[in-house]
Structure 1
Amino acid sequence: MEYLRPTPWDERNFRIPTYEVTSVSEEALKETDQYEGHYTIKVNPMENPEQILKHDFYYMDTLIEPVCEKENLVAFDREGTSISKDYAKEEVLAIAEEAFMHGRFHRDFHIPSSLADLRYMNWVRDLQMKDQIFALYYQDQLAGFYGYEGEKVLLLGMKEEFRSKGLAKAFTSKGCQAQFNDGHDRLRTSISAANVASLNLFIMLGFKLKNTIDVYHKLNGPSPAEV
């Protein structure tokens, strides 16, 4: 497999082979026809998708990369909000199970929603093991979590009853400041173009939109079975 990079973090959830395609060349696309599994390929939006579509890939998402320099972070506060590394792991996992709906695997018609949820839960478990989760508290109640790695902001999940209350700006601001305090001069994240609320949030915090990339999926073989 010259052009196929296995993605074991996805295979564990879907229980079929999963790959990222490392090239948009014809040789790489032909290789996706030879093996069963689920494929992801990321391309420049200016790339002509004709050959990709001919090999049964289908458009899935456009990812936008906002970036923020340390000096440009706009700090927001809200009385009663705080972040902490002290939390009940299972309570955070319960939030992860139901907090996400904009992920590309949730929109992939070949992937059962329960497996897309499982993917987020396992991602949060991995971050918990690496101590890369902040719990978000509002008036001493667990409201959500903030996941990160190095200079990357990865996940923001909130309980339904705490959404649309103007808390996300304060929580995300505190999480970003904690990352900057760890010594990073720049932060970046990746957001689906469909997730307008998150894009607006990071713009308000001082992030600037830098790059975009189109994501295509392909399934060669049977769909993964729901659990």
Structure 2
Amino acid sequence: MFPIKMAGEARGFLRENTWDDRALDIKVTEVVEATTIDAAFLREIDERNHSLGTKLCCCRWDADDVDAKRAFFEAGYQLVESSVDFELPLRRFKGRKAFDFVAPQKEHHDTLVQIATEQFQFSRFHEDPKIPREKAARRYAYWMRDLLAQDKCRIALDKHDKIVGFFVATQEGENQRSLLVGLHPDFARMGSFFYSSVFESLKPKGGKVFGRVSTANIPAMKIHIQAGFTIRESSFDYHKHY
């Protein structure tokens, strides 16, 4: 990561997203750990991006910061996605576990990658009109293959051993973060039961579960609210293409 210093102090960092480069076929960077967003800071970001040969710069920022929004727009950024961060203390979740989860076998991998590629339609890259949708989908395919290689995915099977869906969650201290939840299209109508099973399976670990959902993804928003999640914060994702 490259520190962005102003008046001798670090105001944030510019991170090279080589993982996104691979999927999108362009040089991608992201502004992270920024303290404030203003015109001077974004000019420094531009200078660094020009030296790196960046084609796309991303930044996720508080949705209620109007001054930052103005600075982003005046610097040539576009708002591509709105998202909310949810949280739920697992001890408070009251649901039904309709499915059990197991580690996927190698013969499941191609189907899981296909589900991730075809079923996920909401992300800052899917919602950026300047990024071809097939490249945004390819990013999920690469991500799923990486998660499978790291043994972080768990799946549910029906009585015929057909994949119902999968989830990926990571431990963050005493809490957990839900990264991905996906359903096979043949079981799309069972979404609420599947999510309930995911949260019930996480319950023995205690703590809270966190999740981020695009506000364009109405079904996922409804499921989280019905499950008792509360909103921690809302964010906008800004992109600048060079």
Q: TM-score range by the shorter chain?
A: 0.7 to 0.9
Larger RCO (CA within 8 A; separation ≥ 6): 1
Q: Does the CA-based 8 Å contact 1:21-1:28 persist in structure 2? A: no
Tell me the residue number matched to 2:183: 158
Matched, 1:26 2:39: yes
What is residue 51 of structure 1 aligned with on the other side?
71
Residue in structure 1 matching 2:59, options 34, 41, 46: 41
The structural deviation recorded for 1:41 is 1.2
Alpha-carbon offset, residue 134 of structure 1: 1.1
Q: Distance in 2 between matches of 1:7 and 1:84?
A: 31
**Per-residue deviation, residues 32-72 of structure 1 (Å, max 9, x unmatched):** 43323211112212212111101110011111011010211
> Are 2:238 and 1:209 equivalent residues in the alignment?
no
Offset at residue 216 of structure 1 (A):
0.9
Residues 146 and 156 of structure 1 are in contact (CA less than 8 Å); yes or no, is this contact kept in structure 2?
A: yes
Aligned partners of 2:196 and 2:152: how far apart in 1?
A: 16
- Say which SS state the counterpart of residue 84 (structure 1) adopts: coil
SS in structure 2 of the partner of residue 33 of structure 1 = helix
What is the number of equivalent residue pairs in this alignment? 215
Amino acid at match of 2:180: L
Task: State the AA in 1 paired with 2:151.
Answer: D
Does the aligned pair in 2 maintain the 1:83–1:171 contact within 8 Å?
A: no
Report the secondary structure of 1:10's partner residue.
Answer: helix
Counterpart residue number, 1:142: 163
Where does residue 7 of structure 1 map in the other structure?
Answer: 17
Output the amino acid matched with 1:13: A
32-41 vs 186-195, greater mean Cα deviation: 32-41
What root-mean-square deviation, in Å, do the aligned CA atoms of Structure 1 and Structure 2 show? 1.7
Larger helix proportion of the pair: 2
**Does 1:114 pair with 2:134?**
yes
Aligned equivalent of 1:195, options 213, 217, 236: 217
Q: Shift of residue 93 of structure 1?
A: 0.8
CA distance in 1, matches of 2:94, 2:227: 5
Q: Counterparts of 2:163 and 2:121 in 1: how far apart (Å)?
A: 20
- Give yes or no for the alignment of 1:170 onto 2:193: yes
1:84 matched to 2:105? The reply is no
CA distance in 1, matches of 2:130, 2:214: 19
- 1:124/1:147 contact within 8 Å kept: no
Question: Quick one: distance in 1 between partners of 2:44 and 2:110?
Answer: 41
Long gaps (5+) in structure 1: 221-227
Gaps of at least 5 residues in structure 2 are 5-12
